[in-house]
Amino acid sequence: MLTVKHVTANGENVWEAQSVNFEAGERATVTVHFEDGLAGSFDGGVIYVMNRHGATVAKYTLSTREMPMGAMPAHVAAVAA
């Protein structure tokens, strides 16, 4: 289990996750596979990934485009079982 924290100028959200993928490019993207079987892609803010002991194992600084506080990422989709 991982814990993912998404921080923007508007605040922060924290979720439990199964896995996290980083895709570099002109607009870097972090895709989080949540514990509930959904996946979300983030392209703004800062993403912190913590292991089960609470240690930060990754930090991704993405674009400065902000998402509204409490909003889920635009690309949330069910993950095939």
Q: What is the pLDDT of residues 26-41, one digit of tens each?
A: 889 999 999 889 999 9
Domain ranges of the chain: 2-78
pLDDT at 56 over 90: yes
Q: Which pLDDT does position 14 carry in this prediction?
A: 95
70: how many CB neighbours lie within 10 A of its CB?
8
CB-facing half-sphere around the CA of 70: CA atoms within 13 A: 0
- The pLDDT confidence band at residue 60, using thresholds 50, 70 and 90, is very high
Instruction: Characterize the bridge pairing of strands 29-34 and 56-61.
Output: unpaired
Q: What is the mean pLDDT of the chain?
A: 83
- The pLDDT confidence band at residue 63, using thresholds 50, 70 and 90, is confident
pLDDT at 73 over 70: no
CA–CA–CA angle 12, 15, 21 (5° rounding): 100
26 or 60, which is more confident? 60
* Confidence (pTM): 0.76
What 3-state DSSP class applies to 16?
strand
User: How far is 60 from 44, CA to CA, in rounded Å?
Assistant: 10
